[in-house]
Amino acid sequence: MNKNLNVGITFDTKENYNIEANDWKHSDFSTLADITYVKEIMQSMGFNASLIGNFKNLNKMFMSNELVKYDIIFNTVEGLSSRNREGLIPSFLELNGIPFTGSDAYCTNLALNKAHTSILAQYLDIKVPQFYLINKESDFQEALKTVKGPWILKPNYEGSSSGVNIAYNENDMLEAALRLLQEYNQPILCQEYIDGKEIVVSQMLDFENTQIIGAAEVVRKDGQPIGIYDSKDKFTDTCQKIRVNLPEQILNTMYNASIKLHKFLGCYDYSRTDFRVDKNNNIYFLEITPLPSIGPGSGFVKCCEFGTMEFDEVLFRIILNAYYRYKEKQNVYQKRHYYYK
């Protein structure tokens, strides 16, 4: 197949929701610079890539029949203020038979729920920090009984470390939990704080073909462990990502857990898994995202740099994998339709 596919890139930025650049309450978006970087890589590989924008732009193009010019949509849209926000565009594209990269609505929405993915990880015998889901103020005391401090508190349906807080005593924990409940209007995940290294692992392709790309450690600019990793750290110049320096056995355990989760959730094309490794090399799963940031300097891109494949090769394989997956599904549908005709 000629790789000169027409690729439309969907994305959203803070500006789409009138969020100021220095507002860290919601940070789970792309920047125009990141998306332009991705587009230019696609173009360098021979794809005819162009920017579409957010759901509003996508829907407008659909209504005017402009989407027919694209062979595939490269989706990066995060959405806002809904536990289904990452699944809205996959649902729309799937409903209208439009090929797209990345996981479907079921997988993206499931992975966005941090408490549910922690439960699934436990089912798969993958260790997670102690946790309790706070839905209302009356849950606070049960959270204190269930989870030992210090405590990490985070909105259950946010990404990019939006709203992450650490509390070292009960009063601070209760105060932070109440504030986050009011600010985000969603359940708050209370987790045991794991003092150690922050490791990100990236993987690609589907199910039995899932393979590890690489791993990276997040540290402070001076090389010290990250401590708490919040939105401001992710999007300002306070941290760096370096090669992981851990025993091979520990790395392999993380890799196996990442692949197991990627397969079990039914992720398509690519994903990133985040872990903490304590001082005794105990591994704790934090979360998996089937829609990771892929801008320059992101965890996913750094995993490529430190791993087995260059990012441009990974991007090329993601697009072709998604394109062929859609073609295969289309062929199966046509055969079934003919049979029952």
CATH number at residue 97: 3.40.50.20
Cis ω on the peptide bond leading into residue 150 (within 30° of 0)? yes
Q: For residues 85 and 144, state if they share a domain.
A: no
- In this structure, the answer to whether residues 100 and 135 fall within a common structural domain is no
Pair (12, 95) in one structural domain: yes
Q: Which CA distances in Å does 50 have to 43, 213, 310?
A: 9, 26, 22
pTM of the model: 0.91
Helix (H, G, I), strand (E, B) or coil at 270: strand
Q: Is residue 239 part of a domain?
A: no
Residue 259 and residue 271: Cα distance in Å, rounded? Answer: 10
Task: Give the model's pLDDT for residue 330.
Answer: 73
221 domain-assigned: no
Domain tally for the chain? Answer: 2
Structure-block tokens of residue 57? 């732009």
Find the range with the poorest average confidence among 134-143, 152-161, 226-235, 259-268. 226-235
Rounded mean pLDDT, 297-306: 95
Same domain, 19 and 85: yes
Do 86 and 136 fall within a single domain? no
Helix (H) or strand (E) holding 166: strand 165-167
Query: Which tens digits make up the pLDDT trace of 176-221?
Result: 999 999 999 999 999 999 999 999 999 998 877 899 999 999 999 8
In a 13 Å sphere around the CA of 264, the CA atoms on its Cβ side amount to: 20
Question: Within this chain, do residues 81 and 150 fall inside the same structural domain, yes or no?
Answer: no
Provide the mean pLDDT of the chain.
91
| pLDDT tier, 332 (very low <50, low <70, confident <90, very high otherwise) | low
Percent of the chain with pLDDT over 70: 96
140 inside domain:
yes
Distance CA 224, CA 222 (A): 6
Please give the share of the chain, as a percent, with pLDDT higher than 90: 78
Residue 113 lies in a domain: no
233 pLDDT higher than 80: no
Domain hosting 152: range is: 131-192
pLDDT of residue 14: 87
Give the per-residue pLDDT at 96: 95
Domain check: are 26 and 75 in the same one?
yes
The DSSP bridge partners found for residue 154 are 189
- State the amino acid at position 73 in one-letter form: I
Query: Which tokens sit at 126?
Result: 């993958």
What's residue 331's pLDDT? 65
pLDDT of amino acid 341? 39
pLDDT score for 340: 39
Residue that finishes a domain, picked among 175, 192, 209 = 192
Q: Encode burial over 70-85: b for 16+ CB neighbours within 10 A, e otherwise.
A: bbbbbbbbbbbeeeeb
Q: What is the domain-level CATH number for residue 166?
A: 3.30.1490.20
Going by pLDDT thresholds of 50, 70 and 90, the confidence category of residue 224 is: confident
DSSP assignment letter at 10: E
pLDDT of residue 167: 95
Mean pLDDT computed over 37-50: 96
Question: Which one has a higher pLDDT value, 254 or 231?
Answer: 254
**80 plus 166 within the same structural domain:** no
Same domain, 157 and 91: no
Is the residue at 120 inside a domain? no
Shared-domain flag, residues 27 and 88: yes
Pair of tokens at residue 15 = 């500006």
Mean pLDDT, rounded, for 109-118: 97
Whether 66 is in a domain gets the answer yes
Last residue of a domain, one of 147, 163, 192: 192
Same domain, 18 and 90: yes
Q: Is residue 114 part of a domain?
A: no
Residue with structure tokens 């579409």?
A: 52
Q: Would you state the torsion angle of the CA atoms of residues 316, 318, 320, 322, taken in this order, to the nearest 10 degrees?
A: -160
Checking if the pLDDT of 241 tops 60, the result is yes
Among 192, 212, 233, which residue terminates a domain?
192
Kindly state whether residue 299 falls inside one of the protein's structural domains. no
Cα gap 83→157, rounded to integer Å: 6
Residues 92, 135, single domain; the answer is: no
